[in-house]
A and B are shown apart, each in its own frame.
Chain A
Amino acid sequence: MAKLISLLLKCIMLCGIVGAVFEDQVGKFDWRQQYVGKVRFSHFDAQVQSSKKVLLATENNVFAALNTRTGELLWRQVDKTGPEGNIDALLQHGQDAVLVVGDGRLLRSWETNVGGLNWEVVLDSGSFQSACLVGQHDNVKHVAVLKKTILSLHYLSNGHQKWIENLPESETVDYQAVYSGGNGDVYALGVVPNSHVTIVTYSVDDGEIIKQVSVEAPWLSNIQSSCAMVGQGMLTCVDSATLSLYMLDLHEQSQMAQVPLQSLGLEVAPGFHPVLVSTQPNPARQPLSEFFLQLGPEHYLLLQHNDGQIVTLRDFNPAMLVSFATTGEKTIAAVMSPKNKTACSLNLFSAESGRRLLDTTLIFNMDPNGGKPEKLHVQAFLKKDDSVGYRVIVQTEDHTLTFIQQPGRVMWTREEALSDVVTMEMVDLPLTGTQAELEGEFGKKADGLFSMVLKRLSSQLILLQAWISHLWKMFYDARKPRSQVKNEVTIENLSRDEFNLQKMMVMVTASGKLFGIDSKTGTILWRHYLENIPSNSAFKLMVQRTTAHFPHPPQCTLLIKDKDTGLASLHVFNPIFGKKNHVTPPALSQPILQSLMLPLNDQDYAKVLLLVDDQYKVSAFPSTKNVLQQLQEMASSIFFYLVDSSQGRLSGYRLRTDLSTELIWEVVVPTEVQKIVSVKGKRPNEHVHSQGRVMGDRSVLYKYLNPNLLAVVTESTDTHQERSFIGIMLIDGVTGRIIHEAVQRKTKGPVHIVHSENWVVYEYWSTKSRRNEFSVIELYEGMELYNSTVFSSLDRPHAPQVLQQSYIFPSSISTLEATLTEKGITSRHLLIGLPSGGILSLPKMFLDPRRPEIVTEQSREENLIPYAPELMIRTEWFINYNQTVSRVRGIYTAPSGLESTCLVVAYGLDIYQTRVYPSKQFDVLKDDYDYMLISSVLFALFFATMISKRLAEVKLLNRAWR
């Protein structure tokens, strides 16, 4: 019988761990936002007048089409990260977009309506220089790709190579540009720096060299930065040293004509390198003879080339950005000029005459928390009355895209900085204003009985008022149809919900822009752009004070560290409103090695942040007297560790009372053999509910719960598949004692690792069997606990028992994290980000080193699953169903107020937020709880008793009469 019961239990349990999503839960508490990254090239689809598409190629190696009405993605193609997927050029012709990818390695043509590939060809090796479409007789059929040593021509229809030619004298000449004016010739432009320009003319038909000219140009070093093609094949260059324009007709002349800028009455801003901007609306025709010349950071000129003469059409001063756009036969120039401190105005000018077009002013309001405008992407279209209308995407320094329509209506904005989230935290929302008012009463100092009573009465009155207004609002909303009731989330009406399921997500992006996002809806509530962030910064976000300490505002601290110099700075802000805090952080003049949050509070309940600089000096923030005093008292029990992976050194330090440090242990990993790749501690906010596991024979196996344990992963420097290995070391961070060491031979990284409770799970690539493997290490104290009340690293004489088991995982993984709940009662799941975009929720139960190979009575009693070498991926375990997260880089888990519920945010190119219930929702009623059924049954029973009672009475009465 016991067997039967245990079998039944096991069945229930196995069913129970299938933590899948129900179909009706789609979008109920989860959301996804898709991004593309910083835009490098853009192209509005001008084929059809009513086109709603813009193509974007980005620095994140993404090629996507956006719907211009809504700003949503029509489709998106995500290539490999790194230089191999880098998009070098985007050319559009009709339905097709041609991309040069991976430093000229691949040429791809995309069908832009469907988002599928037309063709892909591999180009010859050589670093990419330039590409252009080649037309002939108003017909574009080819694309020319210029590389360091070769020029090749491909058919647009199928990518086949028409011809490939070696460039003459490519050892000395640096070929940088390719140009075609639609007359059947292709020009390759090269330069020998500070000597001469070489122009080679090829015939489109067979690749024969028609002409090869060398022209003296001792002032020129780079064609792409200082030259442009203008008008009837005029190579126009600008030189900042001689302050002149140089022009060369590719067809005839063999000498450059010099036009000093002074003769045009122009002056270059000191120290500025002038830039030329020209446009070629149709690749089968000549470029326009009008072009922009930028003379200063905010000074542009529209010039026209006319029979060897340069005419100034219009002077734009000040002008921040300019751009050409073409619709039909008309080309216009859009110019953005500053209006006041917070707004810019955009105007259209006719490119031919420089005349301002009427009614084309558009106001762009700059976000005070954003960056400056950086680029304009203009979509011009012909209105019904043949005048030109336009819409524009303004790209700002913080990677934001804002799509504006006349007269300044913002259609949509996309925060593309969110495609590169580096780190994040979830912060509890504050109580509502009224609740906070009541709480605040207790925080203040008491000042007399009478005033206290008054205060209490007034706050109670406020509460009553809020309640009545809430009731009124409910009543009012109930009468309106549901679609009209909008629950707009703003910072003002943010408040914590009953179960603390709604939180503020504070996200830090690589561009230096911070975001505050409501976790329930995904609405961006605040944004803050930090200027002058070095591009290779490392970020660490810490919550110093939570919202629990009203009236003190919550406080987050962002440590920004320049990876090259090691110099760091602190940004202290309020995570709910995003405002910079008035607290002045300490100036950090020395490179910072380590930062740590102490469980100490200052008198304002802010946790103390310790910063260790390269002189091993410690500074505290906040550093009030109170804090320093506490630090002195606590100093003997504050330990920290430093990792120097370049020297393979792991060292432990102790704080002295005078805030200097003392080295107490050191572990050296010889760098010739292996290198330290990661060091993982446990999460400080993790709770472990049960100290041990009950075994089948009713004895208890106690867990080894060392909060100071570090898992150190090393990889071999030898990458040969027979000799490579990865190692894992478990070190006590206080004493430096090595608790356990394991080496996996014939394996290599990258290693993904999770360290929690008494276990470490890591994943690696087995080169021998060519598969991914998971390994789990669990630590146990044994059947008896040494000191069950306090854990001290200094007083644990017995080494823990170590159990380890490994499994095959049928996919590579991108990232690994474990779920986290409030009290740690709920069973744990591993969240695995897969390259396919799925996020797999794998029960930790499958990664248990006690899984037996032979099933016994006891193991069955313990609910251990029999060992199977392969872990399964079941699509029901994907917590994000078909909402895939591209290039998932990190998964953040946070506990909620409900023990059963863990909040999950996966970020990468996309952001996905959801909730998971590792042990199902045991503490709340299920969403599909049938209230109707239970109440109807209750009512039915109630009536049945009433009726039967009546009948019984009647019967009794009848019997009495008898």
Chain B
Amino acid sequence: MFHRERTPLLWAFFQALLVVAWGFTDVDTGPGAAAAMQSNGDRFKIEGRAIVPGIKTQDWVSSARILVEGEEFVGFLRTDGSFAVNDVPSGSYVVEVITPNYRFEPVRVDITSKGKMRARLVNYIKTSEVIRQPYPLQMRANGPNTYFMKRETWGWTDFLMNPMVMMMVLPLLIIVLLPKVVNTNDPEMRKEMEQSMNMLNPNPELPDVSELMTKLFSGSKGSSKASTSSSKGTRPAVKRR
């Protein structure tokens, strides 16, 4: 999740170089400095429009707000989805549309001391990078917020599509079906099969895997196993007698 950002970053930086060359002079005037200089100066207005595709504006504007740089300036949405945040001094601000149900990307808006505006993508790591966005702002919700995790549900299909189950079921099918498909009464076929069986037959000198396992377990954990299994084992033994 950390590597994914690399390539767009490079690309973005390249674009930024282009845009900077294009000639926006004061890239980095902090809000503090700007505010200090403009303490009694002009106040500006950040304008834009927010859209949630497929949803009527009346249904979501009452729960939405525009936050500029945290809660430093607050704006409200008009019934048509447009907004204006008044009384903002020059500086650089992150503008966000806040709704509980929809996700909007924040935008950084720079206001020069003369009131010239521009919007760009927010990048907290390379803060001076400029990727232009339209101004007046066009905020488009990119879907509803996902707050919830999906529960792991248990269904027969999940169980059957499990690779382990598939691995078990397929050989079973082959074992059951193959003798039916191949005519075993044919003497030629039988001969061929016997031959192949002989080839498949393992070397009798090699130890059997199952035997090896039983030896292994009975050796180390034999005592504990015996104690646990004894209680279970007694009842059937009695009955068998």
Contact = CB atoms under 8 A, between A and B. Distances in A.
Contacts of B84: 120
Given A116-B58, A770-B30, A870-B124, A836 B147 contact: no
Secondary structure of the B contact surface, majority rule:
mixed
A21 interface: yes
A811 B36 CA distance: 23
Kindly state the interface size class of chain B when it binds its partner: 35 or more
A99 to B, nearest CB: 11
B62 A18 contact: no
Interface in B158-184: none
A810 B86 CA distance: 24
B98 interface: yes
Contacts of B149: 18, 20-22, 876
B148 A85 contact: no
Contact of B147 (A79, A748, A771, A878): A878
Contacts of B194: none
B118 to A, nearest CB: 15
A115 B60 CA distance: 9
Nearest to B30: A721
Contacts of B36: 719-721
Contacts of B78: 116-119
A808 B124 contact: yes
A720 B32 CA distance: 7
A962 B86 CA distance: 102
B140 interface: no
Contact of A114 (B33, B61, B98): B61
Nearest to A874: B146
Given A122-B86, A770-B92, A876-B148, A930 B154 contact: yes
B62 A20 contact: no
A720 B74 CA distance: 24
Nearest to A768: B30
Contacts of A108: 76
Contact of A78 (B65, B125, B127, B240): B65
Contacts of B103: 875
A118 B79 contact: yes
Nearest to B2: A868
Contacts of A386: none
Interface in A794-813: 808, 810-812
Nearest to B126: A769
Contacts of B125: 808, 869-870
A837 B69 CA distance: 15
Residue of B43, B73, B86, B124 ringed by the most chain A CB atoms within 10 A: B124
A105 B43 CA distance: 12
A470 interface: no
B58 A771 contact: no
A66 to B, nearest CB: 13
A122 B70 CA distance: 22
A949 B148 contact: no
Contact of A117 (B2, B30, B79, B96): B79
B41 interface: no
Interface in A67-118: 75-81, 85, 105-106, 108, 111, 114-118
Given A22-B151, A835-B67, A876 B146 contact: yes
A80 B147 contact: no
Nearest to A106: B86
Contacts of A171: none
Given A75-B63, A77-B62, A930-B154, A881 B147 contact: yes
B204 interface: no
A769 B62 contact: no
Interface string B82-100: 0110110000100010101
Nearest to A108: B76
Contacts of B1: 872
A770 B96 contact: no
Nearest to B91: A770
A115 B62 CA distance: 5
A115 B63 CA distance: 8
Interface residues of A, number: 64
B65 A769 contact: no
Contact of B33 (A118, A721, A875): A721
Given A111-B79, A808-B125, A837-B100, A80 B73 contact: yes
A266 interface: no
Contacts of A881: 147-148
A769 B108 CA distance: 13
Interface in A712-737: 719-722, 724
Contact of A771 (B77, B124, B154, B236): B124
A770 B147 contact: no
Contacts of B74: 78-80, 85
B61 A20 contact: no
B79 A105 contact: no
A933 B154 contact: yes
A258 interface: no
B145 interface: yes
Residue of A115, A119, A767 ringed by the most chain B CB atoms within 10 A: A115
A114 B151 contact: no
A117 B76 contact: yes
A719 B30 CA distance: 13
B195 interface: no
Contacts of B48: none
Nearest to A719: B32
Contacts of B205: none
B71 interface: yes
Contact of A80 (B71, B96, B152, B236): B71
A772 to B, nearest CB: 8
B136 interface: no
B147 A875 contact: yes
A836 B96 contact: yes
Contacts of B218: none
A721 B32 contact: yes
Contacts of A338: none
A360 B92 CA distance: 60
Contact of B70 (A78, A724, A835): A835
A24 interface: yes
Given A77-B62, A80-B73, A105 B148 contact: no
Contacts of B33: 720-722
B42 to A, nearest CB: 12
B101 interface: yes
Contact of A22 (B31, B98, B148): B148
B57 A116 contact: yes
B87 A122 contact: yes
B79 to A, nearest CB: 4
A135 B14 CA distance: 60
B124 A810 contact: yes
A81 B30 CA distance: 24
Given A105-B87, A117-B78, A719-B32, A20 B147 contact: yes
A771 B148 contact: no
Contacts of B92: 770
Given A78-B65, A114-B79, A721-B33, A21 B148 contact: yes
B147 A949 contact: no
Contacts of B127: 769-771
A767 B69 CA distance: 13
Residue of B31, B76, B86 ringed by the most chain A CB atoms within 10 A: B76
Nearest to A61: B74
9 contacts: A21-B148, A77-B76, A106-B87, A114-B62, A116-B62, A769-B127, A771-B124, A835-B71, A928-B152
Given A117-B83, A724-B32, A808-B125, 12 more contacts: A23-B148, A77-B65, A80-B71, A105-B87, A106-B86, A114-B61, A115-B62, A116-B61, A720-B32, A875-B103, A875-B146, A928-B151
5 nearest A-B pairs in the assembled complex, by CB-CB distance: A115-B62, A812-B70, A721-B32, A881-B147, A116-B79
Interface of B: 1-2, 30-33, 36, 43, 45, 57-58, 61-63, 65, 67, 69-71, 73-74, 76-79, 83-84, 86-87, 92, 96, 98, 100-101, 103, 122, 124-125, 127, 145-149, 151-152, 154, 236, 240
